[in-house]
DNA sequence: GCGTGAACTTGATGTAGCTCATTGACCGGC
DNA sequence: GCCGGTCAATGAGCTACATCAAGTTCACGC
């Protein structure tokens, strides 16, 4: 497959570090795979047989407690890397939040190619370091922030991830969440009711609008940032 | 300095991946540094000028909210790597919990050596991947677990990290925490009072003993594991 | 001995967010 | 059209943890 050459994430996924010939090598092992919304690609605690790149769509990484509460541990967007290379069990499930397309490799294949391509490992290292930074910033949110701060932070992060163009004609930042309320709750370590109440509160205070169930329009970014930081 | 040859973490830090001659190259840039308890090596938000290996002692990674609440994001033990290589600000402070010894490099020096030594990068990648796994498991704790579950999980983790020998003659697992109560609270996202109460509760229930302020003896590991999972 | 200060414990009270229950909006099937 | 299902919003009450306020213990100096 020379699909790589025309891949939507050719320039942004870790593959970008490989020159043409090496890319060709990697591509022999890759497999493009459609995933439908709700489908789980990797299961928590099972051996991580697959790794890969997200090409399109949004997926979540999650883990759950003995009693079934789910916590979302990370969100994977196009060009993000998923799975756990180098011989370890996956500590989290990977589930599609939207219909998605991923480019997968068996872990064994990927490990072998990576060992032969330091540049690929370097890209992966860079990406893993940012993921770690990001996870730790999220720990601060989970450990210290109030419900309203969490929701405000979440909306701001989603805005920066999902609103391709800045603002619409009315100066609003509009975007479609790939999350239902329950899924937001799982990201923030809250309940669905609390999330709903905080969103209502932000709407009543005139900081946001919610034209559709999953559509958010940010009216006052500045104030929302203040709410994300202080009670 | 040929200190590397006799370094306490020669076999376990990321340096282990380097052969003698390459190690010699790296060691030219390294600087052994004593850190006293409470001293901060890297500051949140500042450019991470230093990176390095922990040789001895325990340090914490932490960040704080606008209003001064600290959250501990990770704990670094001997042979762990600290700092943020590859041109980014450090997102967290690194502070010594005990007197410690670290082997530091300027980030620029380290980056350059790493680029020339794929094996070193591979070790660092492996370590970063485990750190990420670990951080995400901690997110589950911060997002979902109750106070008693958090404290029990914490004690178990500390036991596995700090009790070199298994059990003493009485079948207890005894170890000295490098944390005061306030510091435990910062790890768990709780207040000092809540931590204290939960420890008292575990003591009253006969699962642990606290012979000294910072000394913990686990009497019933099994039951403690149960408490760490379920309410 | 006694005083001082830091670290920990304990108790009393408040409250943010959870739980449970209800209602309403939207949507697809028939 | 109506009906059933899903998802979000909202209300009432409860509970776990935070907050505030005393104690208590221990180490250290005099």
Distance separating alpha carbons of residues B132 and A122, to the nearest angstrom: 16
Residue whose Cα is closest to the C1' of D26? B213
pLDDT at A91 over 60: yes
Looking at the structure, tell me whether residues B150 and B137 fall in a common domain: no
Looking at the structure, tell me whether residues B8 and B111 fall in a common domain: yes
| pLDDT recorded at residue B163 | 83
Distance separating alpha carbons of residues B51 and B32, to the nearest angstrom: 12
| pLDDT recorded at residue A66 | 87
Among residues B82, B117, B143, the one where a domain terminates is B143
Those residues with Cβ within 8 angstroms of residue B190's Cβ, 6 or more apart along the chain or in another chain: B147, B150, B151
Question: Which of the four pLDDT bands, split at 50, 70 and 90, describes residue A88?
Answer: confident
- pTM, to two decimals: 0.93
User: What distances in angstroms separate CA B200 from CA A65, A230, B183, B205, one per listed residue?
Assistant: 25, 33, 17, 9
pLDDT at A54 over 90: yes
Distance separating alpha carbons of residues A58 and A154, to the nearest angstrom: 15
Asked if residues B133 and A84 have their Cβ atoms less than 8 Å apart, the reply is yes
The domain containing residue A222 runs over which residues? 145-229
Q: Which of A91, A124, A140 sits opposite B136 (nearest CB)?
A: A91
Looking at the structure, tell me whether residues B139 and B150 fall in a common domain: no
Distance separating alpha carbons of residues B9 and B16, to the nearest angstrom: 8
Q: Give me the CATH number covering residue B21.
A: 2.60.120.10
Among residues B94, B111, B143, the one where a domain terminates is B143
Looking at the structure, tell me whether residues B139 and B27 fall in a common domain: yes
Looking at the structure, tell me whether residues B151 and B134 fall in a common domain: no
- Percent of chain A with pLDDT strictly greater than 90: 80
pLDDT at A169 over 80: no
Mean pLDDT of chain A: 93
Our count of domains for chain A comes to 2
The terminus-to-terminus CA distance of chain A in angstroms comes to 53
pLDDT of chain B along its 231 residues, tens only?
A: 567 888 999 999 999 999 888 888 888 999 999 999 999 999 998 887 899 999 999 999 999 998 889 999 999 999 999 999 997 888 899 999 999 999 999 999 999 999 999 999 999 999 999 999 999 999 999 999 999 999 999 999 999 999 877 777 778 999 999 999 999 999 999 999 999 999 999 999 999 999 999 999 999 999 999 999 986
Looking at the structure, tell me whether residues B168 and B99 fall in a common domain: no
User: Chain D positions under 7 Å from a protein CB?
Assistant: 7-12, 16-21
Supply the DSSP string of B150-219, one letter for each residue: HHHHHHHHHHHHH-SSS--TTS-EEEE-S--HHHHHHHHTS-HHHHHHHHHHHHHTTSEEEEETTEEEES
Q: Give me the CATH number covering residue B173.
A: 1.10.10.10
Looking at the structure, tell me whether residues A127 and A16 fall in a common domain: yes
Per-residue pLDDT averaged across A113-142, rounded?
96
Q: Whose C1' is closest to the CA of B143: which nucleotide?
A: C17
Looking at the structure, tell me whether residues B109 and B6 fall in a common domain: yes
pLDDT at A231 over 70: no
pLDDT at A200 over 70: yes
Number of H helices, E strands in chain B: 7, 11
Residues 125-154 of chain A within 7 A of strand C, judged by CB, are 146-148
Those residues with Cβ within 8 angstroms of residue A70's Cβ, 6 or more apart along the chain or in another chain: A62, A63, A64, A186
Q: Whose C1' is closest to the CA of A181: which nucleotide?
A: D8
| pLDDT recorded at residue A46 | 85
Looking at the structure, tell me whether residues A121 and A155 fall in a common domain: no
Looking at the structure, tell me whether residues B43 and B94 fall in a common domain: yes
Task: Report CA torsion sign: A176, A181, A184, A188.
Answer: positive
| pLDDT recorded at residue B62 | 97
Looking at the structure, tell me whether residues B190 and B223 fall in a common domain: yes
Contact: A86, B126; criterion CB under 8 Å: yes
User: Chain C positions under 7 Å from a protein CB?
Assistant: 7-12, 16-21
Contact: A73, B129; criterion CB under 8 Å: no
Nearest C-alpha in B relative to A143: B189
pLDDT at A1 over 60: no
Per-residue pLDDT averaged across A60-76, rounded?
94
Looking at the structure, tell me whether residues A116 and A187 fall in a common domain: no
A57: left (phi over 0), alpha (psi -120 to 50) or beta: left
**DSSP run (H or E) holding A50:** strand A50-56
Contact: B88, A135; criterion CB under 8 Å: no
Among residues A82, A117, A143, the one where a domain terminates is A143
| pLDDT recorded at residue A2 | 63
- pLDDT tens-digit series, residues A210-223: 999 999 999 999 99
């Amino acid at each position: 497959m020379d699909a790589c050459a025309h891949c939507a994430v050719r320039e942004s996924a870790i593959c970008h570090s490989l020159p043409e010939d090496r890319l060709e090598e990697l591509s022999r092992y890759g497999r493009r795979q459609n995933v439908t919304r709700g489908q789980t690609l990797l299961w928590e605690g099972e051996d991580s047989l697959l790794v890969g790149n997200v090409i399109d769509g949004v997926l979540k990484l999650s883990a759950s407690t003995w009693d079934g509460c789910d916590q979302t541990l990370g969100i994977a967007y196009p060009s993000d890397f998923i799975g756990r290379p180098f011989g370890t069990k996956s500590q989290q499930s990977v589930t599609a939040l939207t219909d998605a397309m991923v480019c997968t490799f068996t872990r064994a294949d990927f490990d072998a190619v990576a060992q032969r391509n330091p540049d690929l490992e370097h890209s992966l290292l860079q990406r893993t370091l940012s993921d770690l930074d990001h996870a730790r910033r999220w720990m601060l949110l989970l450990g210290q922030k109030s419900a309203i701060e969490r929701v405000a932070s979440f909306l701001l992060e989603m805005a920066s991830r999902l609103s391709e163009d800045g603002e619409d004609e009315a100066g609003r930042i509009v975007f479609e969440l790939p999350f239902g309320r329950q899924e937001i709750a799982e990201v923030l370590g809250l309940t669905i009711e609390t999330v709903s109440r905080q969103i209502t509160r932000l709407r009543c205070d005139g900081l946001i609008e919610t034209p559709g169930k999953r559509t958010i329009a940010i009216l006052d970014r500045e104030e929302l940032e203040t709410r994300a930081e202080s009670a």
